[in-house]
Structure 1
Amino acid sequence: MGENLRKYNEVFMNIFGAAESDLSDSFTFENVHKWDSLAHMALISRLEDIFDVMFETEDVLHYGSYLNGIKILERYGVDMKA
């Protein structure tokens, strides 16, 4: 596992109290009861800090799943394999 993916997973585990084994394509705002608006903004803020990016509003609105988040970060130049 790359360092960036490890950091990404840690953010999800810390904010949502999830186990690493929970982080999959089914980890979405619809399926995670702790994923409310406050947790969403905490997630966005933490990821922006860790990966030194500033998400566009559209990306914040569409950041509704673990896997989609990886795709969004990769569009900002974050190599999740590194």
Structure 2
Amino acid sequence: MNNNELLTGAFSEALVIDKSQVTNELQYNSIKEWDSVAHMSLVAALEETFDIMLDTDDIIDMSSVLKAKEILAKYDVKF
């Protein structure tokens, strides 16, 4: 599985949404499933999937799938 597939899977499982909904344009609070509680589940899923620890600023700044990719790139995750 490549990193895009891993990311899509993490978003899909954490937010309990179909993988087809996970696009670069998907934004925090743009769907009812991505609320503050689900955001923390997402953070945990991303940390586990990519074996990293996100810092607090990155967790707060993660406002979309595209932004998540930018943040993960800082941790040497390539897309």
TM-score by length of 1: 0.85
> In structure 2, what is the Cα distance between the partners aligned to 1:76 and 1:3?
16
Where does structure 1 lack aligned partners over 5 or more consecutive residues? none
Q: Is the aligned partner of 1:46 residue 2:53?
A: no
Q: Secondary structure at the match of 2:62?
A: coil
Q: Secondary structure at the match of 2:71?
A: helix
> CA shift at 1:21, angstroms?
2.7
**Paired residues, number:** 79
Q: Is the aligned partner of 1:56 residue 2:55?
A: yes
> CA shift at 1:50, angstroms?
1.1
TM-score by length of 2: 0.87
> CA shift at 1:54, angstroms?
0.8
> In structure 2, what is the Cα distance between the partners aligned to 1:3 and 1:53?
17
> CA shift at 1:5, angstroms?
0.9
> In structure 1, what is the Cα distance between the partners aligned to 2:4 and 2:62?
16
1:21 is matched with 20
Where does structure 2 lack aligned partners over 5 or more consecutive residues? none
Q: CA RMSD in A?
A: 1.4
> In structure 1, what is the Cα distance between the partners aligned to 2:27 and 2:58?
15
Q: Once the two structures are aligned, what percentage of the paired residues are identical?
A: 29
Higher relative contact order (CA 8 A, sep 6+): 1
